[in-house]
Every structure is written in C-alpha cells, then in structure tokens.
Amino acid sequence: MAHRSWCAEVPGNLSNERLEFLGDAVLGLVVTDYLYRTYPDLPEGQLAQVRASVVNETALAEVAEEIGLGADLLLGKGEDASGGREKPSILSDAMEAVIGAVYIDGGWDAAAELVMRLLGERIIEGAAGPGGHDFKTRLQELSARVYDELPRYHHVSEGPDHAKRFEATVSVNGEAVGRGEGRSKKQAEQAAAREAWETLSGARLPLSTPDPPMTAAEEDDA
C-alpha cells in the first residue's frame, strides 16, 4: 500500500488513493446490501445508523490494526517518523484500498467475503442494538406469542476439526420448520431460525452474502 507521502519521495509511483476511492464505494454497498437483505424490519434510519457504525474511520482503522496492515504501508520518511503507521486516517484509507484491490482482482464475491470476515461481527452487534433483533430472538417472540412455547434446536456436525460445519434444525409446535448451516452452532441456529421465521411469518428474503466471522464465544462452541 503506497501512501502519497512515499510517492512524493519516490517519483513515478502511484499512491493507493484511487483504490481507496473504489474500496470506499464497494464497502458501503456490501454493508448496505447485507443489512437490507438480513434485517427486513429495520427502517431506513436504523439501517443507516448500523451502516455508519461500521463504515467509518474508527472501525476501519481498528480492523487494519487487528490484521497488522500498518506494517505493510509504504510511507514517506517524515510520515513514518511521525507515527503514520498508527494514524487512524492512514489505516482506514489503506483498508479501503485493500477492499478495492480485492474487488478488482476477485470481483464482488471476493470483496463481499473479505468485508464480512473483517466487519461481520461489528455489523451484527450494531444491528442487535436498539431497534435491532437477530432471527433467534424474532422466532422466539413469534413462537411464544402464537404457540405459547419456545423453539427447540437440534444439531449435527461434519467435517474435520479445522473446517467443521454445523447443521441445525429448529422445531416449533412439534414440527420442523427451519434448517441452517454455519461454521459454529450459533451461526447454524441463526440460519435455521431465519428460515423458520420466514416460513411462519410469510416472509421470503434472498441472501447472497457470506457467513459472518465467528466470535470468540462461537469458536468455543465449534
């Protein structure tokens, strides 16, 4: 990742600013698409709030720090000496450039997978805040209201320990109404709850984004 300060000292090289421009647009669309498809009941204002909570300089800089992106930056001597590798503005710009580069190299699917792996947990946490509800909560509320009982989940797993996949089925009122898969029990339950909620509520929502990353708690379940 070539910062403009480095390019000023090494003429003939292009900075990552054009990739930042592209990555910013791709990032915004990936997050917007995921929120729109995954949370059909959230109004526009709340969707915008959740998006703003992850598509911002602070969140992107934190992700860049987590993956050690600062060490790979090409900075001018002055910028480097002044702590440029830790500056949120530089780190967030570099993160956008990486997303833009992945989009050019691998297209939408590759870029969407990267964004969700890096920011998926933050998106889910933001949507589960005030006004947000995950599908297990929705299904539980619906089941309790209509059938006066809670959903029941059953699990199976397959594959080697390092790449295990979980399958969950959920039953309501004695009938299996949802099935889902994921990289952890919790993700599989969420997918099953989504299908069950859509079936029982009459909603049908397409979803083409990748699995969100596992949280530390989910990894313990895996």
Q: Which residues are annotated as a binding site for Mg(2+)?
A: 20, 93, 96
Spell out a b/e string for 128-144, using b for 16 or more CB atoms within 10 Å of the CB, else e.
eeeebebbbebbbebbe
- Which residues carry a binding-site annotation? 20, 93, 96
Catalytic residue among 9, 65, 96, 219: 96
* Distance from C-alpha of 175 to C-alpha of 197, rounded to nearest angstrom: 13
96 catalytic? Reply is yes
CA angle 215, 218, 220 (to 5 degrees): 115
Query: Quick one: which of 20, 194, 186, 35 has its CA closest to 116?
Result: 35
Catalytic residue among 24, 134, 198, 218: 24
Q: Is 111 helix (H, G, I), strand (E, B) or coil?
A: helix
221 catalytic? Reply is no
| Catalytic site positions | 24, 96
